A and B are shown apart, each in its own frame.
Chain A
Amino acid sequence: DVKVTQSSRYLVKRTGEKVFLECVQDMDHENMFWYRQDPGLGLRLIYFSYDVKMKEKGDIPEGYSVSREKKERFSLILESASTNQTSMYLCASSSGTGDDEQYFGPGTRLTVT
């Protein structure tokens, strides 16, 4: 089974802190994604990556950056956390072979105070 793991289930940070959210997949998938999920807004794509060191902005990239130094790991970085970044963050991966079913991690609930 594909497994996507996220470094933390719950995280509490202070405004202005730099925050790292880590995601690791174990199926050699080409594509990886970061979403945020807020009530009533569904899943919104922040960034995605289709290869090592390759990344593209999604629909809401402002205030975020990403890093993909190794194929299995995709990190989301909040350079200076703000309270409006309090949310559930979901990481996903897909094979890149044409079947773009996505496999999701359990999510990180981030609270910025």
Chain B
Amino acid sequence: AQSVTQPDIHITVSEGASLELRCNYSYGATPYLFWYVQSPGQGLQLLLKYFSGDTLVQGIKGFEAEFKRSQSSFNLRKPSVHWSDAAEYFCAVGAGNTNAGKSTFGDGTTLTVKP
């Protein structure tokens, strides 16, 4: 069975500081990995995804993530955080077209940005 762990429930950073959100997954084969963002009162929006190829993937809003197979990790990074990045972030692992495209989501990390 696949699973996702986001070790940090809540992270606070100052505006302009760098950000790294951690994600560890458990999956038997090559995973499909995603990061989603949820602004208050909204649904989730995809930030970026990894299926294969280059292990450093670029996403929207200046985010990037690096797939590290040896560490079973897919950490999300941003070099300089903006106040508008305050939101909840979810890491997810999927199985591709098997299993009806189901993804398993982590419990989320809430990001607070200090002025």
Binding site for B on A (CB under 8 A): 4, 30-31, 33, 40-43, 45, 48, 50, 56, 58, 90, 92, 94-107
The smallest C-beta distance from A49 to any residue of chain B, in angstroms, reads: 8
A101 touches B44 (CB 8 A): no
A101 touches B34 (CB 8 A): yes
In the complex, A40 Cα to B88 Cα: how many Å?
A: 11
| A94 neighbours in B (Cβ, 8 Å) | 101
Known A95-B101, A102-B101; 14 more pairs at CB < 8 Å? A30-B101, A31-B101, A42-B90, A42-B105, A45-B102, A50-B101, A92-B43, A96-B100, A100-B32, A100-B101, A100-B103, A101-B34, A102-B92, A106-B42
Using a Cβ cutoff of 8 Å, how many contacts connect chains A and B?
66
Binding site for A on B (CB under 8 A): 9, 32, 34, 36, 41-46, 49, 51, 90, 92, 94-97, 100-103, 105-108
In the complex, A42 Cα to B107 Cα: how many Å?
A: 4
Using known A-B contacts A42-B108, A43-B105, A99-B51, determine if residue A104 contacts B97 with beta carbons closer than 8 Å: no
Contact of B102 among A4, A48, A95, A106 (CB under 8 A): A48
Contact of A56 among B46, B100, B107 (CB under 8 A): B100
Contact of A100 among B9, B44, B45, B94 (CB under 8 A): B94
In the complex, A94 Cα to B107 Cα: how many Å?
A: 21
| A58 neighbours in B (Cβ, 8 Å) | 102
The smallest C-beta distance from B2 to any residue of chain A, in angstroms, reads: 12
A100 touches B43 (CB 8 A): no
Using known A-B contacts A42-B108, A43-B90, determine if residue A90 contacts B43 with beta carbons closer than 8 Å: yes
